[in-house]
Structure 1
Amino acid sequence: MFSALAFGAVLFPGLFYSFTEVLRTTFKHWSDADVVSVSERLVSAIHAALATTAGVIVVTSCRNTMTDTHWLVNGFILFGTPYMAFDIYAMYLSHYHIQRVRGHSRSYSGHSLQTVKTFLMKDWMLVLHHLVLLLVFMPIALFLRRDLGDFFVGCLFTTEFSTPFISIGKILIQLGLDDTRLHRANGIMVLLSFFLCRILVFPFMYWMYGQQFGIPLHRVAFHLPLQCNVGNLVILAPQVYWFIMLLRKAKRLYLRQKRSTADGDKSSPRTD
């Protein structure tokens, strides 16, 4: 099974560096920041697609939410662990090159503790999220679950469903397609997929557990161990925060486009 760990350790960095080489050759006018940022997003989208696929397979295969097991759960946890570690490094590289492009060349003349500190201060929640998955939930899922709850782990895999749409949005902006119908349609998919698979998935898991044991939804939490509820809250809290951020960003974009449309109408010549 640990071959999955080795495979992930080779695949995700390999994909990242392959994408950077292809993008540098294809888009020669792009800066290092552009190349690294898009490469990180592409790898993120691939990992998310694989995680979602694994999650759907596990969820649809487990009839009993507690006792049914599926080999893909432990296999994908080991396979995805190197991605979580590497993605922190890829996010740092993206941050480093973006800051250099934005005119901080003196502060970012080379990699240092200061650049790492600035990155951690800026993206502390994402880094913390990755570290919690790596250092807390991965050991629990592999060694402390006693092969119970594969259904719920599969549900957590599906939370990655929104990530490809988020990545596509960033890439469309990079390509200068942020004022297109495609970008707006993708933005709607980001909000819908994020809400369904990162927010509603938690009451869905509780509801499925209640359905199996005849417990009303509002009573399920009282029938679960405290650590299960705390773990779910730890995962859910940042998802709610990020969803609020997405809603605020969507509102800003909508108002900006509305103003642009209004200004365009005012400047259009009269035809009557």
Structure 2
Amino acid sequence: MFCGLLCGAVVFPGLFCIFRQTLKLCFTQWSDADVLSVSERLVSAIHASLATAAGVTVVTSCRDVMTDSHWLVNGFVLFGAPYMAFDIFAMYLTHYHTQRVRGRSSVPCGHSLQTVRAFLTKDLMLVLHHAALLFIFMPITLFFRRGLGDFFIGCLFTTEFSTPFVSMGKILIQLGLDNTKLHRVNGVIVLLSFFVCRILIFPFMYWMYGQQFGVPLHKVPFHLPLHCNVGNLVILAPQIYWFILLVKKANRLYLRQKTGQVDKDRPRTD
């Protein structure tokens, strides 16, 4: 157990430091905020790619959606847990340096409760998402499932499939490629992959359960314990919220590109 945690605690901060130093050398004109933002996105993309690969492996290996098990479930939960804690810290650093670069008078010279409060106000939903995965999802997966439902945990891993494309969009903007065809194509992939892997994945899980036990899709929720339905709803709700943000952001970006303006912001959804 501790081996997986230790590996994650070394790999993700280590990658962040490597990317940060490399980008400083390669893009000397970038500010600390730019370097931190891109480094954070690169680490996020790597974690998401590993989570997706683990999820696909688990899902395709489990024939029985309830009783079949796979060692990657607990292994990757432990390995990925340090990332959730570290990414909150990395997001805070990016926020802090971004506000200083923009010359916000409300940002003090050093780190303080005021800077932390401003960060939490801006990214509260994402911080809560990370904290819930770390302090609720991880204990449930490791200690309270009684070895059941690895298939569904694997499905939840695959929700990270859209994250590398979200990260790529931010990186393309940072590189000044926001008006290119590549950026537009990536934006379409973000919307499609997010909708399929973070929203449609939930009716897919219910459908797979119904297929195995001969229950129609619309009756599956009534065959599951209340806490299962509530848990799925709690996970699904922010995904719908972030998808709406992505659609609005895509629409604004499209309108600004038509008028020759540049939009350098995109909501975090990983």
TM-score range, shorter chain: over 0.9
In structure 2, what is the Cα distance between the partners aligned to 1:49 and 1:26? Answer: 24
- Taking only the aligned residue pairs, the percentage that are identical comes to 75
Query: SS of the counterpart of 1:178?
Result: coil
For 1:217, the aligned partner's letter is L
Cα deviation per residue 1:204-237 (whole Å; 9 max; x = unaligned)? Answer: 0000000000000000001111111111111100
In structure 2, what is the Cα distance between the partners aligned to 1:43 and 1:259? Answer: 33
**1:250 offset after TM fit, Å?**
1.1
Partner of 1:179: 179
Partner of 1:110: 110
In structure 2, what is the Cα distance between the partners aligned to 1:74 and 1:234? Answer: 22
TM-score (norm 2): 0.95
**1:259 offset after TM fit, Å?**
4.1
RMSD of the alignment, in Å? 1.2
User: Structure 1: which 4+ aligned runs deviate by more than 6 Å?
Assistant: none
Query: SS of the counterpart of 2:64?
Result: coil
For 1:94, the aligned partner's letter is T
**1:253 offset after TM fit, Å?**
1.7
Partner of 1:21: 21
Q: What 5-or-longer segments of structure 1 have no aligned partner?
A: 262-272
Query: SS of the counterpart of 1:200?
Result: helix
Aligned residues: 261
Cα deviation per residue 1:103-131 (whole Å; 9 max; x = unaligned)? Answer: 12662310011100100011000000001
Q: What 5-or-longer segments of structure 2 have no aligned partner?
A: 262-270
TM-score (norm 1): 0.94
Q: Give the structure with higher Rg (CA).
A: 1
Partner of 1:244: 244
How is 1:104-183 mapped onto 2 (pairs within 5 angstroms)? 104=104, 107-183=107-183
In structure 1, what is the Cα distance between the partners aligned to 2:162 and 2:106? Answer: 37
Contact 1:68 1:148 in 2 (8 A): yes
In structure 1, what is the Cα distance between the partners aligned to 2:20 and 2:183? Answer: 23
How is 1:5-20 mapped onto 2 (pairs within 5 angstroms)? 5-20=5-20
In structure 1, what is the Cα distance between the partners aligned to 2:229 and 2:62? Answer: 21
